[in-house]
Amino acid sequence: MARAATNRRKLGLTLLAWSIGIVIFFPILWTALTSFKTEAEAVASPPSFLAFHWTLENYTEVQQRSDYFLHFMNSVIVSLGSTLAGLLVAVPAAWSMAFVPGRRTRDVLMWMLSTKMLPPVGVLIPIYLLFRDTGLLDTRVGLVIVLTLINLPIIVWMLFTYFREIPGEILEAARMDGAGLKAEILYVLLPMAVPGIASTLLLNVILAWNEAFWTLNLSASQAAPLTAFIASYSSPEGLFYAKLSAASTMAVAPILVLGWFSQKQLVRGLTFGAVK
Amino acid sequence: MATAHSRAAARLTMSPAVLLLLCWMLIPLVMTLYFSFLRYNLLMPGTEEWIGVLNYQYFLTDPAFFAALANTLALVGGVLVLTIAGGIGLALLLDQPFWGQGIVRLLVIAPFFVMPTVSALVWKNMLMNPVNGLFAAIAKGLGLQPFDFLAEAPLSSIILIVTWQWLPFATLILLTALQSLDRERLEAAEMDGAGALDRFIHIILPHLARAMTVVTLIQTIFLLSVFAEILVTTNGGPGTATTNITYLVYAQSLLQFDVGGGSAGGIVAVVLANIVAVFLMRMIGRNLDI
Amino acid sequence: MGEIVLKQITKSFGDISVIPPLDLTIANGEFVVFVGPSGCGKSTLLRLIAGLEDVSSGTIRIDGKDATALPPAQRGLAMVFQSYALYPHMTVRNNIAFPLKMARLDKAAVDRKVEAAAAVLNLTGYLDRRPGQLSGGQRQRVAIGRAIVREPTAFLFDEPLSNLDAALRVNMRLEISELHASLGTTMIYVTHDQVEAMTMADKIVVLNAGRIEQVGSPIELYSRPRNRFVAGFIGSPRMNFIEGEAARGDGADTIGIRPEHLVLSTDGGRWSGTVSVSEHLGSDTFVYVQVDGIGTLVARAGGEFPVRHGDRVWLTPQAEKLHRFDAAGNALSSLASGKKVA
């Protein structure tokens, strides 16, 4: 009896949860489906859900007409490049904060966080003018620099919270064993922190991939990552639903998969360790 | 706990990050501040001159500013209320045992990973478009008149899109917090005769308070700067119906090339964000035990 | 060789003084144990010697050279940590080899030394495992192996056995003692466990609130504690302290008598009381006696002593084993020897 009631309750919850889940996911699903339709089917009324003529031609056309691959590579280079550059600067800083905390460590951490809260419009104009005058506008290098800087506080914070879970005694042991600073970080700390560093890398690639203020304002055509490339579809001449869907699906799919893998780290990274 | 050697090493290893962020924050901010006191238009180079607080006077008395301020507040407030209420509901649901929990969780968090430009375009064209959108098709199927979301209710439509993007974040964090709740406390309350509603009000909600504050503060920081969604869907219009402060500053400086006025707006945005940031920093700082 | 001399060293963290000026000489080849309650500064003192913390003032000489400002790696010391501090991502072989690699030894020499250390410590079969796959005792031995391959001037042990279960602890205690006997290297060993201190040390340094309370051989500390703190800290169960009228009769503010020096009788004696608890271990019997006008005293009888809760018993201290303390807790001359304890 009780068992049956429990199962009935579970069945009800299952139906409810799945319905809500599908509704929330539906825009993504719909986009993915539309990307396999012909343009005519994409705007057909009433729309067909699965019973349409499946085609891959939107994907090939997006590539041919607008050099999708260039923008995809821009996204890869900018997101990965800015994350790696950020890690390079952040690892030593997080080491010192986690293992040699001083009286001011806390203030420095909080200050770094505060830079993240600076609204981008507050510095948009000078950065735009500086980039224009130094020829960094619409370059991958320029975007890497900006995204490194805007995500640096998150990288430092995430690494800091991961490093703090490593017992300091192990690093002291390395110091006793004759390891210098470089050896201590390279041979002892980093190998032990691999999971944390991987999570940090993953989350920051996601954030950089989806960053859509600086990429929209500082890139035009050559260096435009997918965020800016997709935005060009909002102009009337680009209004082809199936092609828009194909481009969107390709832009979202890789990062969605990464995101699904990193959902736990997401919470920790985006709340600066306040919720774990 | 350290020696002079390790402290020297700490200073050395810390400095690149600190210097970079210092440059990133301070130099442009000072420049913005400086520009905000100038007559400075990119279309009229060479005519820069010091005009004191005139830019602020114009910016703060511009009806567009009040519209933008109201829109910003509506956008931030609307999305916060919807995501937190929805997030608590979803977190409670996802915390229950049902079949396929893991998959539903993936479905629910997916929108967070969709880049803003894509979600804006998908909602604008494929769902909300009054002619070819899915919602229009559904309305027609039901014999109703299609609704032109972005023309008739532009701000609400943008709130809906942004809520869709941020609901996963709120859900995920509230769910994480919920799962850290000691089950025995709920069982003890149940033994004490507390009903489901009592347990929710007296045990679950207080436990989630911290996570709710974190969600509120972090989302506020991001929501104050919503930009791509507006740029792609409405360009701030119709009129100024969907212009928020961020978009107003962008339009002023990069569309009208009024660097001085835009800078003044930027500084105003910084001040507004700082008010929120102070609370957020206190919150995080309190949980930081060094 | 391994002589370590601390001269007037102090340590403070901010305004808090952890170690007031302290002098200590550790002779070459000695096994010295720092013992004291938690928070007494014993680990800090060890870390100062290791170079993991800077002294606030004073000098540390190791092997005749001033090492006060040297970084830990250059002091020629090896340390075994409480948590073992093994490198979890390296095999046992690489853990033990790490200090040698850092010293840029050639590969053949590294291999030879690692194999030799592994043979001594019975780790040969485990060289290719990772620390996570080892038992607590094996991890402990790897930590020791990592220390001995360096052939250090002295070994530092920071509560190395506190994470092991009781049986293993006894074994490892013996192994470390044997290691000391065979290597003959200076060892400094920190523990809060006075049994470890008594069983292993050549010389015990009893610390309390950063101060050295007494330095001496285990038997010296046991039989001639310099003050009430040392008397109470060394020995198990701890010494009984009696204040008031009974103590004044012996010309002291407090008298102390160890449980093993209280003679139990069911017929008569100096103090009478009722048994509250009796613990029968077979080899010994510990009797907790509620003595009239004094309080609870613990007495130990060798073998079985058949009493139970509520029985009336008499206790008589062995006069020559009675410790007398003044109001400040310092030991007065012993009644038996009549000599003033230094």
Are A125 and A34 contained in the same domain? no
**B8 falls within a domain:** no
Asked whether the predicted pLDDT for residue A2 surpasses 70, the reply is no
Which residues on neighbouring strands pair with residue C155, listed in sequence order? Answer: C78, C187
Read off the amino acid at residue A144: V
Check if C70 contacts B (Cβ < 8 Å).
Answer: no
User: Do C250 and C333 contact (CB within 8 A), yes or no?
Assistant: no
Are A38 and A141 contained in the same domain? no
Are A130 and A260 contained in the same domain? yes
The enclosing H or E element of C205 equals strand C203-208
Last residue of a domain, one of A36, A57, A78: A57
Are A252 and A231 contained in the same domain? yes
Specify the number of domains making up chain A: 2
* Residue C110, phi-psi category: left (phi > 0), alpha (psi -120 to 50), beta (remainder): alpha
Phi, psi of A155 (to 5 degrees): -65, -45
**B20 falls within a domain:** no
Residue A213 has its nearest CB partner, among B172, B228, B270, at B228
Asked whether the predicted pLDDT for residue A34 surpasses 50, the reply is yes
CB–CB of A122 and B32 under 8 A? yes
CB–CB of B117 and A206 under 8 A? no
The hierarchical CATH code for the domain C4-228 is 3.40.50.300
- pLDDT tens digits for range C285-333: 999 999 988 889 999 998 898 888 999 999 999 988 899 998 888 888 7
**A276 falls within a domain:** no
Compute the distance between CA of residue A121 and CA of residue B45 in angstroms, rounded to an integer.
22
Question: In chain A, which residues have their Cβ closer than 8 Å to the Cβ of C73?
Answer: 175-180
- pLDDT tens digits for range A75-125: 999 999 999 999 999 999 999 998 888 888 888 888 887 887 788 888 888
pLDDT on residue A59: 85
Are A202 and A95 contained in the same domain? yes
Chains linked to C by 3 or more Cβ pairs within 8 Å: A, B
Chain C interface, best mutation among A104, A169, A171, A177, by max C CB count within 10 A = A177
Question: How near does any CA of chain C get to the CA of B1, in Å?
Answer: 7
Compute the distance between CA of residue A227 and CA of residue A79 in angstroms, rounded to an integer.
12
Query: Could you tell me which residue, B118 or A275, shows the higher pLDDT?
Result: B118
Compute the distance between CA of residue B146 and CA of residue B149 in angstroms, rounded to an integer.
9
CB–CB of C53 and B5 under 8 A? no
Are A147 and A225 contained in the same domain? yes
Extents of the domains making up chain C: 4-228, 238-325
CB–CB of B4 and C54 under 8 A? yes
Report the largest interatomic distance among the alpha carbons of chain A, rounded to a whole angstrom: 77
pLDDT on residue A273: 66
- pLDDT tens digits for range A200-217: 898 889 889 988 889 888
Nearest to A267 by CA among A161, A109, A164, A166: A161
Q: What number of other Cβ atoms are within 10 A of residue A80's Cβ?
A: 16
Segment among A24-33, B121-130, C306-315 with least mean pLDDT: B121-130
Q: Which domain holds residue B142?
A: 54-286
CB–CB of A174 and C89 under 8 A? no
Are A150 and A46 contained in the same domain? no
pLDDT level of residue B189 (50, 70, 90 thresholds): confident
Residue A119 has its nearest CB partner, among B7, B108, B246, at B246
Check if C111 contacts B (Cβ < 8 Å).
Answer: no
pLDDT on residue C341: 42
pLDDT level of residue A27 (50, 70, 90 thresholds): very high
CATH of the domain at A73: 1.10.3720.10
Between the two ends of chain C, the Cα-to-Cα distance in Å is 30
Q: Which domain holds residue A38?
A: 2-57
Check if A109 contacts B (Cβ < 8 Å).
Answer: yes
- Tell me if the domain spanning C238-325 has CATH number 2.40.50.140: yes
Are A20 and A150 contained in the same domain? no
Which residues on neighbouring strands pair with residue C275, listed in sequence order? Answer: C289
Q: What is the gyration radius of the CA atoms in chain C, in angstroms?
A: 24
Question: How near does any CA of chain B get to the CA of C53, in Å?
Answer: 5
Asked whether the predicted pLDDT for residue A17 surpasses 90, the reply is yes
Please give the average per-residue pLDDT across C208-227, as a whole number: 92
**A247 falls within a domain:** yes
Compute the distance between CA of residue C269 and CA of residue C289 in angstroms, rounded to an integer.
13
Highest mean pLDDT among A48-57, B146-155, C151-160: C151-160
Question: How near does any CA of chain C get to the CA of B6, in Å?
Answer: 9
CB–CB of A188 and C83 under 8 A? no
CA distances from B226 to B156, B230, B236, C5, C296 (A): 14, 7, 11, 66, 74
pLDDT on residue B186: 81
Chains linked to A by 3 or more Cβ pairs within 8 Å: B, C
CATH of the domain at B75: 1.10.3720.10
Are A217 and A244 contained in the same domain? yes
Could you write out the three-class secondary structure of B117-149?
Answer: HHHHHHHHHHHCCCCCCHHHHHHHHCCCCCCCH
CA distances from C187 to B151, C28, C161 (A): 82, 9, 15
Are A40 and A93 contained in the same domain? no
pLDDT level of residue A263 (50, 70, 90 thresholds): confident
pLDDT on residue B289: 56
User: Do A228 and A191 contact (CB within 8 A), yes or no?
Assistant: no
**B268 falls within a domain:** yes
Are A36 and A155 contained in the same domain? no
Compute the distance between CA of residue A174 and CA of residue A185 in angstroms, rounded to an integer.
10
Are A254 and A239 contained in the same domain? yes
Compute the distance between CA of residue C195 and CA of residue C217 in angstroms, rounded to an integer.
13
- pLDDT tens digits for range C234-251: 988 899 999 888 788 888
Which residues on neighbouring strands pair with residue C271, listed in sequence order? Answer: C315
CB–CB of A259 and B218 under 8 A? no
Please give the average per-residue pLDDT across B177-195, as a whole number: 83
User: Do C264 and C287 contact (CB within 8 A), yes or no?
Assistant: yes
Sequence length of chain B is 290
Q: What is the rounded (10 degree) CA torsion for C77, C80, C82, C83? A: 120
Q: What number of other Cβ atoms are within 10 A of residue B152's Cβ?
A: 11
Question: In chain C, which residues have their Cβ closer than 8 Å to the Cβ of A174?
Answer: 87, 98
**B48 falls within a domain:** no
Residues 176-195 of A with CB under 8 A from B: 181
Question: How near does any CA of chain A get to the CA of B8, in Å?
Answer: 10
C330: which 2 tokens? 């310092």
